[in-house]
């Protein structure tokens, strides 16, 4: 992923529509590219500040950079969970296919 692509994805990261593999390569780029990280940080701070003002929270959290780091950490956990879920559902569909093949072979066409 190059910087132009990463910059275009900043909005999607912030509104939470960036997912899966795209999110993963975005995070990888951000970690190795200080200028894109800064770009994300700027957008994130603006977004968080507006959100907190909208919600009229009792105490504003001004540790925006800490919030972004926390957010990135959570997204990574989410990626790991999604990947695990993919393997899991892949495994399940494998079992279903085998069970179906077994069913066909022994119940529907027992003479095969």
Q: Which residues bind Zn ion (CB under 5 A)?
A: 3, 6, 33, 36
Question: Which tokens belong to 96?
Answer: 């279903």
Contacts of 54 (CB under 8 A, 6+ apart): none
- The nearer residue to Zn ion, 36 or 64, going by C-beta atoms, is 36
Shortest Å, Cβ 27 to Zn ion: 12
Shortest Å, Cβ 63 to Zn ion: 24
Shortest Å, Cβ 48 to Zn ion: 21
- Note the helical H segments in 16-106: 20-32, 34-55, 64-103
Q: How many residues are present in the chain?
A: 112
CA 50 from centroid of its chain's CA atoms = 23
- The nearer residue to Zn ion, 39 or 82, going by C-beta atoms, is 39
- The nearer residue to Zn ion, 57 or 69, going by C-beta atoms, is 69
- Residue 26 CA to residue 5 CA, distance in Å, equals 9
- The nearer residue to Zn ion, 10 or 36, going by C-beta atoms, is 36
- Residue 58 CA to residue 62 CA, distance in Å, equals 12
Shortest Å, Cβ 32 to Zn ion: 8
């Amino acid at each position: 992923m190059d910087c132009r692509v990463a910059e275009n994805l900043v909005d999607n990261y912030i509104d939470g529509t960036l997912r899966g593999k795209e999110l993963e390569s975005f995070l990888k780029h951000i970690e190795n590219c200080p200028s894109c990280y800064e770009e994300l940080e700027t957008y994130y701070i603006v977004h968080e500040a507006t959100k907190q003002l909208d919600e009229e929270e009792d105490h504003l959290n001004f540790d925006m950079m800490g919030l972004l780091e926390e957010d990135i950490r959570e997204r990574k956990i989410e990626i790991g969970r999604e990947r695990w879920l993919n393997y899991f559902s892949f495994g399940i569909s494998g079992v279903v296919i085998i069970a179906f093949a077994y069913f066909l072979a022994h119940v529907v066409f027992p003479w095969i």
